Amino acid sequence: MTTADLDSDVAEVLLSEERIQARVAELGAQISLDYAGHPLTLVSVLKGSLPFMADLMRSLSVPVRIDLMEVSSYGGATTESSGLVRILKDLSSSIEGEDVLIVEDIIDTGLTLNYLVRYLRGKRPASLRICTLLDKPARRLVEIDVEYTGFTIPDQFVVGYGLDYGELYRNLRYVGVLKPEVYANAG
């Protein structure tokens, strides 16, 4: 399978590479302005936000420290055994007293982010804000204050630029709508 095969599974390019890069640059400029003179810790939530994190951090002009977290998702391998979210990868160092920006790929229900925010607040950062590339408000269950949003998107299943279906499509350079037939018969 090649990326051309992955491309053929995409019904529509929602956000082109150029559009994403332009918006990431805008976000970077705004965040740099807001945090001018303050070192910033970016916390990326694996795995989907990796490309966004990589591009965003390089667009910032303030000193940046990065950290990575990964939490289990409902329906994953750990669901049946524990029934609770598991933190698969915790922060590498303390964020106490630091200005922290959570970097997310997409917010839909807000359940994962709500959990993460509560968890990170417990680590007593000086401030905690959220930056997401994509926001899908139609699915929102938990209202969360999001400081920086790249794009508000319609209620469609999207892949690419870090977003996956079955762990594939993350390396597409754009965000596209997956053809329904790709997942129609999936279990």
Partner 1 sequence: VTIERAPGEARERPAFAHASEAEMARILDFYDVRWEYEPTTFPILWNLEGDVVESFAPDFFLPDLGLYLELTTLKQRLVRKKNRKLRRLRELYPDIRVKLFYARDFRAIMLKYGKLALVDSLSGTLGQVTPEREPGEADTSGAVVAAPAADPPAPAASVGPPATSAAHSTTSPEEAIAAR
Classify burial at 12, counting beta carbons within 10 Å of its beta carbon; exposed 0-12, middle 13-18, buried 19 or more.
Answer: exposed
63 binds partner 1 (CB under 8 A): no
Strand-pairing partners, residue 142, are none
For the CB of residue 35, give the shortest distance to partner 1 in the complex, in Å.
29
Own/partner pairs, 64-69, CB within 8 angstroms, 24+ separation = 64/39, 64/40, 65/39, 65/40, 65/41, 65/98, 66/41, 66/42, 67/41, 67/42, 67/43, 67/91, 67/92, 67/93, 67/95, 68/43, 68/44, 68/92, 69/43, 69/44, 69/45, 69/116
37 binds partner 1 (CB under 8 A): no
157 binds partner 1 (CB under 8 A): yes
**Residues 55, 21 contacting (CB under 8 angstroms):** yes
186 binds partner 1 (CB under 8 A): yes
Active site residue 164: no
26 binds partner 1 (CB under 8 A): no
Residues 101-130 that bind partner 1 (CB under 8 A): 108-109, 111-112, 114-115, 118-119
151 binds partner 1 (CB under 8 A): no
Q: Which of 5, 108, 135, 164 is catalytic?
A: 108
152 binds partner 1 (CB under 8 A): no
Single residue of 5, 36, 82, 93 touching partner 1 by CB under 8 A: 82
For residues 140 and 42, give the distance between their C-alpha atoms in angstroms, rounded to a whole number.
24
- Judged by CB under 8 A, the stretch of 17-25, 34-42, 137-145, 169-177 that binds partner 1 is 137-145
181 binds partner 1 (CB under 8 A): no
Structure token pair of residue 70? 């990964």
Task: Give the active site residues.
Answer: 108
Per CB under 8 A, residues contacting partner 1 are 73-76, 79, 82-87, 90, 108-109, 111-112, 114-115, 118-119, 138-139, 141-143, 155, 157, 166, 183, 186-187
